[in-house]
Amino acid sequence: MTGLSFAVPLWVWAAVTLVIAVMLAVDLIAHRDNHVIGFREAAVWSAVWIAIGLAFGLVLLLWQGGEASSTYYAGYLIEKALSIDNVFVFALVFSFFAVPDAYQHKVLFWGVIGALAFRLVFIFVGAELLQLFFWTAYLFGAFLIWTGYKMAVSKDAEVHPERNPVVRLVKKLVPTDPRYHGGRFFTTISGRRVATLLFVALVAIEATDLIFAVDSVAAVLAITTNTFIVWTANAFAVLGLRSLYFCLAGLLRRFTYLHYGLAVLLAFAGVKLILSETPVGKLPVPLTLGVIVVTITVSIGWSLIATRGRKGDTAPPADRAPADADADADADAEAAPAARHPFD
C-alpha cells in the first residue's frame, strides 16, 4: 500500500511540534485559574482551533499541492467527526465521577496531551505495518468495519469507567482518596502521598481515549499512510477537543443519529483500506472527501431535524454552575462528598 510520498525535513516536524506545544501552552495559561467554561468562551476557542486546522490545509496546498491538502482535509474531517463521539463518553465519565465543572477543562487538557502521545505512537506503528505487510490492510480494514457495525448497533450501551482495567489497575497500584482536593491530582493526607478522585477521572478519560485513538488513527491511515499528514490531521483535530466538549455538552441528546454517520465513516474507511490492496486500488481523494462531508452533514442534519424543539438532557457546564463559581470552586470541591467514588 502506498500513500502520498514527499520528503518532510526534520525541521518541519520540529516546527509543527513547536506550534502545537505553543498552542497547548497558550490554552493552559488562558485557563490556569480553573474557571468554569461557558458556551460563548468555548465557541470562540472552537472557532480558533478550527481556523488553525483549516489554515494548515492551506499551508499544505501551497507547499505540496492540492492532493496533499485534500488528503489532509479528509483526515481532519473524519477525525473531527469521530471526536464528537469522544464527547459523549467524556460527558458520561464526568457525570459518573461528579467532576466539578471548574476542573473539567484541566482533566481534558491533560487528557489531550495523552491523546496526542498515543496517536503519535499508533501512527508510526500502523503506517510501518501497512508498508511492510500488505495483509495488515485487510486486518485494519476488517477492524474498522467491525467497529462501525458495533457503533451502529450499540448506541445505548452503557459506559462503566469503574470496570476499565486501567482504572482498576491504578486503584491497586496508587493509594487514592475518594474525594476532590481542589484542582489537584495528588495530595498529602496524614503524611502519605495519595491520588485524588480527579486523578482517577483523568485516568478514565485517558483509558477511554486510548480506544478511540485506535479507531481514529486506523480510519485516517485508510486514507493515506503519509505519517506527516496523518499526524497533523489528528493533532489539529484533537487540539480542539476540549472546546468542542464545552460547546456540545448541552446538545448531546440532539445528535440522535450521528452514531449511524460515524459508523458509516468507519465502515467506509475499512472498505477503502481493503480495496487499496486489490486490483481496484486506492479510491480517489475527492471521492473520499465527498463521502465524509456528505455523511457528516446528513447525520447531523437528520439528528437536528428529528429532535427539533427538544432541549439537551445535559445542561452546559456554565448553566449548572453558580455565578461565583470561580471564587468558590476550591471550597466546593474540598467539601464534595465521596459518594460517587467507584471503588467503595
Rounded Cα distance between 244 and 83, Å, is 8
Q: Is the residue at 180 inside a domain?
A: no
- Rounded to an integer, the average pLDDT of 124-133 is 82
- Per-residue model confidence as pLDDT tens digits over 57-93: 999 999 998 889 999 999 999 888 887 777 777 887 8
Q: Helix and strand tally (H, E) in the chain?
A: 13, 2
pLDDT of 331: 44
Q: Is the residue at 186 inside a domain?
A: no
pLDDT of 332: 43
Q: Is the pTM of this model over 0.85?
A: no
Rounded Cα distance between 5 and 285, Å, is 15
Nearest to 201 by CA among 43, 39, 48, 93: 93
Cα 66–68–74 angle (5° rounding)?
Answer: 100
- The total number of structural domains in the chain stands at 1
Percent of the chain residues past pLDDT 70, beyond the cut = 83
Q: Is the residue at 247 inside a domain?
A: yes
The owner of cell 460563548 is 40
Q: Is the residue at 185 inside a domain?
A: no
Nearest to 147 by CA among 252, 96, 229, 222: 222
Domain housing 301: 10-162+206-334
**Is the distance from CB of 216 to CB of 79 less than 8 angstroms?**
yes
Q: Is the residue at 220 inside a domain?
A: yes
- Rounded to an integer, the average pLDDT of 212-237 is 87
Cα 15–218–301 angle (5° rounding)?
Answer: 95
Q: Is the residue at 194 inside a domain?
A: no
pLDDT of 306: 85
- Per-residue model confidence as pLDDT tens digits over 298-313: 988 888 888 876 654 4
Rounded Cα distance between 176 and 78, Å, is 38
pLDDT of 327: 40
- What does pLDDT average to over the chain? 79
pLDDT of 320: 40
The owner of cell 467503595 is 344
Grid coordinates given for 84: 464528537
Q: Is the residue at 177 inside a domain?
A: no
Q: Is the residue at 196 inside a domain?
A: no
Sign, Cα dihedral of 333, 339, 340, 342: positive
pLDDT of 273: 83
Please enumerate in sequence order all residues whose Cβ is within 8 A of that of 226, keeping only pairs 6 or more positions apart, or say none.
Answer: 3, 4, 5, 6, 68, 71, 127
If you write DSSP's letter for every residue of 52-117 in order, what string do you get? HHHHHHHHHHHHH-HHHHHHHHHHHHHHHHHHHHHHHHHHHHHHHHT--HHHHHHHHHHHHHHHHH
Rounded Cα distance between 204 and 97, Å, is 10
Residue 335 pLDDT > 60, yes or no?
no
Rounded Cα distance between 90 and 204, Å, is 9
